[in-house]
Chain A
Amino acid sequence: MLVLAIGDAYIPSRAIDIPAKFKKLLSIPDKISHVAVLGNSADSPEFLRFLNNVSSNITMVRGDFDTQSYRIEVPGQTTGSNEFIDKNIPLTAIIKEGEFKIGCCSGSTIVPKSDPLSLLSLARQLDVDIMLWGGTHNVEAYTLEEKFFVNPGSCTGAFSTDWPIMGRQTKNDTETEELGKDVKDMKLEEKNNSEEKTKDAAKETGEAEKSKEEDTKDDENVKEDTKKEENTKESKEDSKKPEEETETKTIEEADIDISELEISGSNVPSFCLLDTQGSTCTLYIYMFIDGEVKVDKVTYTKPSEDEQ
């Protein structure tokens, strides 16, 4: 059975809905035993109903834009029709799945935001093997100190007010650009995307294995893990931007093609599924890229008890 990790839907405040293809993927009955909702997803009764259909076993934690409770439709006990009950949303929750203890938090109370060492400290406090968190709208997965950290990103690719993940051009950057360049860039980006994903997955798995052997604690390692997710795209793109200053043609707003990622500051829509078998947890990362769903796989093995 699978655990669905999903979060930061922000329906309807920042997004209309999750991609239809995601809905279809998740609508297979009796596969998912548990839904972990990592915040900012409780505003839409329609979306809650959808999650409830995926699995009625929902663990929800409170994101920064969540209220203290959410309202969910349950089969009425006294009357035949459904009734609505208010459920409190806690800040943190723990799920037990097979041999794994899984901690959930929205990330809204982690200072500094999404900081790996802070998350590690929380995982220690909650005594969990896997820490699920959210709030960044950017899918991430890494192993640190033999614990597994997973952020499923935003399932809608909702707008984020954090520093944009794509990286913003600073003011020193080119002021004008060739018109054709955007198109070229787009193509490159597409290619990079697909290459990168497979590479990333491979690297990630490698990383997970590696960190099991040599215990790491220092920032460098932590940073590498997180940076890989966030920055590969950006750095590649940056290095390919030629600095051209000679254009005289006036450029209008309509001529400039701004990618959705640049506007929303979020990454593509994504969610994760965790499949636990014995002491191994296989993480499937689902991303919605250019209208297609891409899947990555990362494996994490929990160290045996006596090693600890």
Chain B
Amino acid sequence: MSYSDSLDLAISNVKQQTTLMQRCLQHGRLMDALKHSSALLTELRNPHLLPKQYYELYILVFDALSALSAYLVDSGNVSGDNNGSDASASASAAAAATHLADLYELVQYAGNVVPRLYLMITVGTSYLRVPGAPREEILKDMLEMCRGVQNPMRGLFLRYYLSQRTKQLLVEGDTPEALEFNCQFLIANFIEMNKMWVRLQHQGPLREREQRAKERRELQILVGAQIVRLSQLVDNNVEIYAAEILPVVLAQVVQCRDVLCQEYLYDVVCQVFPDEFHLRTLDTLLQTTLQLNAQTSVARIVLTLVDRLNGYVQRLRDNDSDAHIPATVFDTFWEHLTKLNEERPDLGLMEITGIVRGLMTLSLTWYPDNLQNIDKLLGLAAQKCNDEGGAERDPESVPRLVELLAAPDASEGEVDARNDAQQISHNLASATYYYGVITQCPSFIELLVLLDAGAQVKVVARIIECFVSVQAEKPATLQIESKDQLERLLRVVEPLVKSGAKQDTVTGQLAQEQLAKFCHLIAACLPASREYSTVEKRMEALLMLKNVYHRGGRGIRHTYPAIITCMWREIRRCAVYEVRIRGKRDYYRNLNKQTFKYVARCISDLFNVCCGASSDGSSSAAATDLVYKLNLASAALADELSLEEIAYNFFSEAFAVFEDSLSDARSQWQALVSMAQTLQKTRSLHVENYYSNLAVRTTLHGSKLLRKQDQCRAVYACSHLWWATEIAAIGEEEGRTETFFREGKRVLECLQRSLRAADSLMDNVESCELMVEILNVCLYYFIHGEEQTTHVGVGYINGLIELVKTNLRSLQMEQEQEQEQANANGNGATVAPRYVMALDGTYVQVPESNNASSAATQTKLKDISINEMVRVPVEHFQRTCTYIENQRDIDARFQTVVL
């Protein structure tokens, strides 16, 4: 008899033989049935089948043999049932036993070894069912006979068949002896299977190694099933597990020196036996890993164990919050890791840090408050990193090291699945962890500095992001209780600071943004700490921060404004204390003066570093503008606190920047308008002629601007410097407050000067528009008071209106000619775009379509026609006239305005 050529043929043959066999069984022709079973079993001899195909066939065979087995068992029992008495029952049992014993001998004569052994096991296991059968002998015999098949795949399946068939039929009884025997039986079978499984790797040509490994993976379940059977057998008898099973299994694992086997079996052992067993045998499990094949991933094994045990401790806590947590688990792992690190210098950074990562999660799960463990682990990683000559040697390990520093728990990948509340509590836990590690674990920095700059930035950015996100939910996250803690924090952010010195890209800017936010974060957390409960102390902290940020080179353009803001905040606080704390008024006043000096220092640092010739043009101009504005803002703040001297200094500093460094015409005009705006709101400067000095100077600069239109607009804006308006916050009120600083004569001078500039402009469209703008400013003052105070009377306004009208008429003449031309060309029908002129003299097209917007940044538009341009002042003037007409109903004085 021979096996079929293909799987399909084999299957149909098995099916056919099965049917024949069953028919024979129905007719009680056992011998013929055995012949047919032998025939179908022949198919299992085929050496060309792949594991999957063999398995498919095996299932069919198993079912067929089950029918045979059932028949054998029944035939024994049927004879017993016919006679009712006990005596005959035992007699028939004896007869059945004899019958099966005979059969057991008989099947040994089958021609081929594979069919023979399958039949033997089938008969043998049926025999086992008969009461009083010599179980131990039969079992031993079957185990022994199985040695007859040494081909790995066929042998594996045969032994798998043995273990399946004997599942319920091992030695009975709860006696230790029975258990012992059964264990030995399973272990013996397992050992043989494992050997064959390992041997499978070495069959066939070398180049098919990969293919072999794949096949072995497909077969591994057969071996694993033996361990599962063992675990079912021992139930929760940890003694026998620790004494009999684990040592034998591990000995096999070590002896076979096979990577696949070692990793797989460790995995199975970890998965199938209870957690308590692992805790009990942790030492053995770990120590054995030291003897494994060099290629076997110890990290993987350790991580599997850690996962198991983490799940265990979580279940323990869920069930009983007071559960006793074994205290030495981490220490056992740690001991193992240090030993491994010593004994296996061949293990790479990747491997060691993989274990470190696993132990970190272990420590965080089991002993969340113990940061000493984390420090040890990071220290070991740092040492390994050093030994290997830095992380650069092994670029693959960099993400792992980043993970060690930045990922406090393993569930990081599940972020998406979390809801908001979970996310918040998770962030909070992370922030607490980071802060703890930063302030208590020196190894954190040690390892951080070993990374390359990019990786450092990644870690730090992540940590700051976490702090910042938590700050939004729960203020004062970081309890900075000492200068030492603050120093440690600052050391951590240093990599990010330094990264700012190099790049001015968006990524660089993002890093600087993180730093600015970090500054706010620190400043927000400080007041809650005892150490930093006073303004003086907090200023000390801010200066420390400033010194660190200063190393960021031009990056300070993004970080210093945040520091300055924090200082401004301290200044406002200090001002409140000045008022409220008795007897320390001078102290707080001086403290504030000092703080303003620090602000000035920051601003001048900014100027020195960012506005120098070394930096490129546009960023230097932007920085100069920033310096100018920071001076103005600080001046405003000082003025509000009646620190006139300081306010004046900041203003003059702003002027110095304006005069020396602001060269762009556009920004000059804006700078002057900002100056006028800020100055107009000051109240403390009316000593020592400070105010008038500054106001005159602003106006003078305005009138000296390069372009006439800028002059005109700057000077009419400056007219407001001589016309203070109410600041409601300090109780001023138009009509009631008597002490407003107002000099109408100066107002009028400004307007006249502004008008002269408008008049001398060459472009008469813009000249007209400027005059309409001035007219509107005049109306502002007209509303504000009578001629004797404002000096802007109805006569002046009427004169201006007349001037505008004359100019517009000549403009319109130009426009009409064009109009005729346009009509003659037949283009009159198209709707011309409309424009208005913006504050800075740019033409802005009025959007016609819905949801559109427009804005212009150029003063000259190329495609604007003269007609469209002329309409700008004309329509602006019309709107102004409508306004005047409307005002006549409310203010009789407007009736004297002639339109």
Contacts and interface: CB of A to CB of B under 8 A. Distances in A.
A193 interface: no
Given A12-B517, A13-B562, A88-B857, A163 B735 contact: no
Interface in B68-125: none
B468 A108 contact: no
Given A125-B836, A126-B836, A168-B575, A111 B734 contact: no
Nearest to A44: B513
B741 interface: no
Contacts of A215: 886, 889-890
Contacts of B891: 217-218
A64 B629 contact: yes
A24 to B, nearest CB: 9
A198 interface: no
Interface residues of A, number: 98
A219 B735 contact: yes
B489 interface: no
Contact of B857 (A90, A169, A252): A90
Nearest to B634: A161
A12 B629 contact: no
B473 interface: yes
Interface string B730-758: 11011100000000000000000000000
Interface string B513-524: 100110011000
A16 interface: yes
Interface stretch (B230-238, B564-572, B689-697): B564-572
A218 B889 CA distance: 11
B534 interface: yes
A251 B681 contact: no
Contacts of A71: 506
Interface in A87-126: 88-98, 101, 105, 108-113, 115, 117-118, 121-122, 124-126
Interface stretch (B254-262, B491-499, B760-768, B773-781): B773-781
A192 interface: no
Contacts of A170: 730
Nearest to A247: B582
B681 A162 contact: yes
B853 A94 contact: yes
A34 interface: yes
Given A84-B506, A91-B840, A219-B784, A125 B680 contact: no
B533 A254 contact: yes
Given A16-B521, A125-B836, A220-B735, A64 B582 contact: no
B174 to A, nearest CB: 63
A165 B728 CA distance: 9
A91 B673 CA distance: 13
B677 A45 contact: no
A94 B847 contact: yes
Contacts of B618: 68
Interface string A40-65: 00011110000000000101010011
Contact of A256 (B510, B580, B733): B580
A252 B581 CA distance: 7
Given A173-B579, A219-B783, A91 B848 contact: no
A196 interface: no
A12 B560 CA distance: 10
Interface stretch (B392-400, B818-826, B877-885): B877-885
Interface in A179-233: 215-220, 223, 226-227, 230-231
Interface in A61-90: 61, 64-65, 67-68, 71, 73, 84, 88-90
B856 A253 contact: no
A14 B562 contact: yes
A308 interface: yes
Interface string A1-42: 100000000111111110110000000000001100000000
Contacts of A254: 533-534
Nearest to B841: A91
A16 B517 contact: yes
B656 interface: no
Contacts of A73: 506
Nearest to B682: A163
Contacts of B725: 112, 115
Interface in A221-263: 223, 226-227, 230-231, 234, 247, 250-254, 256, 258, 262-263
A175 interface: yes
A45 B510 contact: yes
A105 B636 CA distance: 22
A159 B565 contact: yes
A265 interface: yes
Nearest to A15: B520
A43 B780 CA distance: 35
Contacts of B850: 96-98
A108 to B, nearest CB: 6
Contact of A95 (B473, B847, B887): B847
A54 to B, nearest CB: 15
A100 to B, nearest CB: 10
Nearest to B527: A254
Nearest to A126: B836
A118 B729 contact: no
A76 B638 CA distance: 47
A177 interface: yes
Contacts of B473: 20
Contacts of B777: 121
A264 B523 CA distance: 13
Nearest to B713: A109
Given A33-B851, A112-B680, A167-B731, 10 more contacts: A13-B516, A16-B517, A44-B513, A92-B842, A93-B854, A109-B717, A124-B883, A171-B579, A251-B580, A253-B581
List 6 A-B pairs, minimum CB-CB distance, nearest first.
A93-B855, A12-B516, A13-B561, A90-B855, A96-B847, A92-B838
